[in-house]
Amino acid sequence: MTALFVKTRLAFAVTTALFCSVALFAAGSSAAIPAERDVLPAGASPQLYQLTIDPDLQKLTFQGELTLDFNATQALDELVLNALDLTIIDASLDGKKVNAEVVAETQRVHFKAPVSTGKHQLRVRYQGKIYEQSAGLFVTDYSKADGSTGRMLSSQFEPGDARKLAPMWDEPSHKAIFKISIIEPKGQLALSNMPEQRRQPLADGRARVDFAPSVKMSSYLLYVGAGDYERISGRSGGIEHGVVAKKGDAVKGTFALNASYQLLDYYNDYFGVQYPLPKLDHIAVPGAGGFGAMENWGAVMYFEGTLLLDPQFSNTSDKQEVFAVVGHEMAHQWFGNIVTMQWWDDLWLNEGFASWMESKASQHFYPQWHAELGAVGSRNYAMFQDAQETTHPIVQPVRNLAEANAAFDGITYSKGLSVITMLEAYLGEDAFRAGVRAYMQKHQYGNTVTSDLWQALAQASGRPVETIAKDFTNQMGVPLIKAVKAECQQGNTTLTLTQGRFGLDAASKQPQQWTVPVTAQVAGQAAARAEIRGDAPQTMTVPGCGAVTVNAGQTGYYRVDYSDALFADVVKGFAGLPAVDQLGLLKDSVSLGYAGYSDISRYLALTQQLPADANPIIATDVVEQLEGFTDLYRGLAGEQAYKAFALKKAQALFAKVGWEKQPGESDNTSILRSSLIGVLADLGDGAVIAEARKRFAASQTDKSVLPGDLYGVVLKIVGTQATAADFAQLKTLAAKTSNSTEKRRLLGALASAKDEALAKQALALILTDLTPKQFGPGLLNRVALEHTQLAYDFYLANQAAFDERLDPLRRDGFDASLLGASREAATATLLRQKAATATTKPVKTAYLEAAAGIERRLDRVKRIPAQVDAWLKTQR
């Protein structure tokens, strides 16, 4: 699954996330399942599900027929399966009718009949529910070119919503074969994981479509869908690849289809296990959810914005994101689908590796995008999450589905990616790949725990990887390596280091130790490596003499803090460092300054050394950070002076790139241009705002005036600065368009209005037919950025309506995402009160994180502007 807790670009990442006791042993695991997990009773397991689904898209119900072959390893008083929102019509076990009791509180159905040891068959007829939020079997509505409304059927079953489709063992360790049949709605195309095997016309104009049996797989990887689809396809790597989208849109998936060809060959080679299915569809679904895509085996589901590229409205960043998401979901076909974690404790084996592989593949096919810089951004985001009291280890105990839903966060994805990056650098690329191949081959079609991976890597590399790996996956927190001093001795540098812990609050600063693989380098010399343990000072010898970069190459998961003398040397040599080290130093220095470990002037000193030909990703990061400081200056005496400084820096960079794309320009320069235009407008550059308005007006008669790379940022400027007339025009355009990308961006512009009266109008539009239901929560979040209390009050007044629009990944504690934008201490107090009464750990965490974010902002307002002002005086 691709999560949307952080907006990911390939170029860079920015921050915008009743129990039954059993003793069951899983394949690939030597440990019993903990008793506190909410799992089904032991004693039986599925072999084959034959499932027929007959959907009614208007009534939002479906009829289901299930034939389930299973094996009992012991005598049972009754058969207990997962089920939710299902009404059992009748059931039989081995041909004899049985009674069934659905227990909603435990999400289970009890078939009341004794079960002997051996093979059995359960038959069930039942009725289920089709949802309007993206969980279980769900629909999305969209506008057609003729003005009518279309409706598509899709599914999302991770982590535990396959139980809404049929009674089943809805746990990742219970793999089985699935044979799916769909009664295809008239005029639509039915889709599932496997190719269509047989089509039988029905008297009412519909058709029964039978799909080939699947490979052995976990229930959460099922896919059931139907829609007004068309498909573009081709063959590569011995299989058929397809992009499926609503009619008229499939061509927008050409880039994704070509990426699928590239990635399949690359992954087949890297993993050493061939993709086993005859087809791989990438399915574009209208709407939006709490995630971007889902790795259903052979039928990957994406919301349109993460798969399709519209030449008029999509930008270069969108293209990079499409490649990243396709790369992520295809990596899951191995890490997740062929080899599956035994339980949600080890979710990172799916998501961390998929995140890492998307970056690795991007670097392979598009080195000019500099995915290694994106990995630094992801690491920084992970460290932000990991330096709070609410953090958790990568491998964490998960007791139930609520906790499994919450596990899809920055620790699982971004810290997982970062730790894998560190381990690959520690072991070496070839040894690491050999270990991954051995792991994949040994456990294919089975389930694993994290220790299985460590064993494979240790055997392949001959190195004791487990000590380092366990420290970083079983412990929470961020190591802080302090470079204390460096002495030149006989042509080498003796570097003294100590280890501590980086934290944003008292809890995350509690002492903790890791075995940290540290890399250090003098520019132009070979890198040196050492393992730092304990809190006593340690030395390492670095070839050459001169300024030393600690964490050279930025593959380590730790922050670096330099003594004043060593940092002064780093500043002098900053311009000559590799781009990845420049970005790492910038991220560490601003984070240490924000957290109070050092003065923010260190970060500003580095920005002054930014070379004229700086990598566009780094230039983008710097201007966005400088603009970000203005949030801390609101209403302070030095606000205008600081804005003038930041404006001057951004204008100097913009003078080099201008409004127009140049021949041969890199993709990342295009992203920099868009970022600069947005930053300059936010800083009040009148010329940029006027030009944006001018181009938007001209685009109403000549769309070429606003190519995709400019469309989004110009629209946001018009929306942010909107007058009543602008707002009315944007609303009219949103009502007229049937293009989902254009509509999404127009609605986003409306929700960005600074004017409070217009923001109220934007809120009113969220619950009208103008706004697709699944877009509503995101637009409410957008309004809350500028008008927090207004958005929160609207949410409270319409909570039931928003609950209908929120899938389980976002519903509980959703108000924390609104209130977290506040700048009021009273709001932080309210959030902590909500946390105190929260009934689940994930909701409590959401409130605590939002409260802590407000408190950190208020603390920074007291410290950072004064430090910046003092530094600015030294520059005059």
Region 2-344: CATH code: 2.60.40.1730
757 C-beta neighbours (distance < 10 Å), count: 9
Q: For residue 329, indicate whether it is catalytic.
A: yes
Angle, vertex CA 4, rays to CA 333 and CA 390, nearest 5: 105
Determine which one of 321, 329, 742, 849 is catalytic. Answer: 329
Answer positive or negative: Cα dihedral of 293, 380, 675, 809.
Answer: positive
Provide the 8-state DSSP code for 848: H
In tens, the pLDDT along 680-700 reads 999 999 999 999 999 999 999
Low-confidence ranges of the chain (pLDDT < 50): 5-31
Query: Which residue ranges make up each domain of the chain?
Result: 2-344, 478-595, 612-721
- pLDDT for 213 equals 98
What's residue 715's pLDDT? 96
User: Hunting for tokens 């060593």 — which residue is that?
Assistant: 566
**DSSP code of residue 661:** P
* CA 838 from centre of chain: 25
* Residues listed for the chain: 876
Residue 264 tokens read as 């399949």
On whether the CB atoms of residues 119 and 97 are closer than 8 A, the answer is no
Six token digits for residue 79: 């058969």
Tell me whether domains 2-344 and 478-595 share a fold: yes
CA distance 236 to 285: 24
The pLDDT value recorded for residue 222 is 98
Cα 348–chain centre separation: 12
**Cα separations (Å) of 176 from 168, 170, 213, 316, 477?**
10, 11, 10, 41, 38
Edge-to-edge strand ranges of the sheet holding 538-543: 538-543, 492-502, 478-489, 559-562
Q: How far apart are CA 104 and CA 553, in angstroms?
A: 52
Residues 6+ apart with CB under 8 A from 761: 727, 750, 753
Q: To 10 degrees, what angle do helices 639-657 and 667-682 make?
A: 150
The structure's pTM equals: 0.94
* Cα separation, 276 vs 641, whole angstroms: 62
SS3 content of the chain, % helix, strand, coil (to 5): 45, 25, 30
How far apart (Å, rounded) are the C-alpha atoms in residues 211 and 324? 30
Distance CA 522, CA 179 (A): 60
Note the CATH number of domain 478-595. Answer: 2.60.40.1910
Q: Which positions ≥6 away from 687 have C-beta within 8 Å?
A: none
Output b/e per residue, 845-872; b: 16+ Cβ within 10 A. bbbbbbbbbbbbbeebbeebbebbeebb
Whether 381 contacts 410, CB under 8 Å: yes
What is the per-residue pLDDT for 192? 98
pLDDT at 35: 62
